[in-house]
Amino acid sequence: GNSVTQMEGPVTLSEEAFLTINCTYTATGYPSLFWYVQYPGEGLQLLLKATKADDKGSNKGFEATYRKETTSFHLEKGSVQVSDSAVYFCALSRYNQGGKLIFGQGTELSVKP
Amino acid sequence: DSGVTQTPKHLITATGQRVTLRCSPRSGDLSVYWYQQSLDQGLQFLIQYYNGEERAKGNILERFSAQQFPDLHSELNLSSLELGDSALYFCASSVGGRAMNEQFFGPGTRLTVL
């Protein structure tokens, strides 16, 4: 079946450090891929997305590239800030399943000043 | 603020009871989704409606049901509640009902079953 696997957290970084959160997926065909972010006490917000192979999604300094050959969609940011502390979810959606999102388990990021 | 509203914010009830969670989508959005977030299961898709019709179904228990009304708001009904139903229930909405449409999430309803 379709699934998403993320690296385990929590991840603790110092401000201005480089961030990578790994995400791999299992799905037939060409799913759409997403990164959502959940700040404490809030709902999820879309961070970025990519809908086809080799697409790069980017937003607020975060980037992720849809790699079909490695079935991956790793999230990166060159210099994290304290305000980036949140839980990050990788997700996929299949074209023939409406808008159903399948989420990874989430990775908690804590950025220290 | 995503524009999606959910009520109530918190709900505490007892095993065996029935509750109704309500969601109002963003203005103009036709599709509504329900998700359950718990520590052991993570974020799980429950069900999707598009313009009043069921579009996709996930791991929704038979004790749970949902509907979308003509004004596009949605309700999730949970009955014969068990301790394991304690979770955060999110509603999301999108303009279309397809895979690439961005979903906007509400703040959630925290359900505690005692």
Going by C-alpha positions, the residue among A8, A99, A85 that lies closest to residue B46 is A99
Out of A43, A51, A106, the one facing B106 most closely (by C-beta) is: A43
Average pLDDT in chain B: 94
Q: Give residue A7's Cα distance to chain centre.
A: 10
Look at residue A95 and tell me whether its pLDDT is greater than 80. no
Asked, as a colleague might, if the bond just before B8 is cis with ω within 30 of 0, I would say yes
Burial class for B21, CB neighbours closer than 10 Å (0-12, 13-18, 19+): buried
What confidence score (pLDDT) does residue A29 get?
81
- pLDDT one-digit tens code per residue, A13-69: 999 999 999 999 999 888 999 999 999 888 899 999 999 999 999 999 999 999 999
d(CA A98, nearest CA chain B) in Å: 5
Say whether A44 and B56 touch across the interface (CB within 8 A): no
Helix, strand, coil distribution of chain B in percent, nearest 5: 5, 55, 45
- pLDDT one-digit tens code per residue, B24-72: 999 999 999 999 999 888 999 999 999 999 999 998 999 999 999 999 9
Q: Is B89 on the interface with A (CB under 8 A)?
A: no
What confidence score (pLDDT) does residue A42 get?
87
3-class DSSP state for residue A58? strand
Say whether B33 and A101 touch across the interface (CB within 8 A): yes
Look at residue A97 and tell me whether its pLDDT is greater than 80. no
Q: Is B34 on the interface with A (CB under 8 A)?
A: no
Q: What contacts B18, CB < 8 A, 6 or more positions away? A: B77, B78, B79, B80, B81
Say whether A98 and B107 touch across the interface (CB within 8 A): no
Element spanning B100, H or E: none
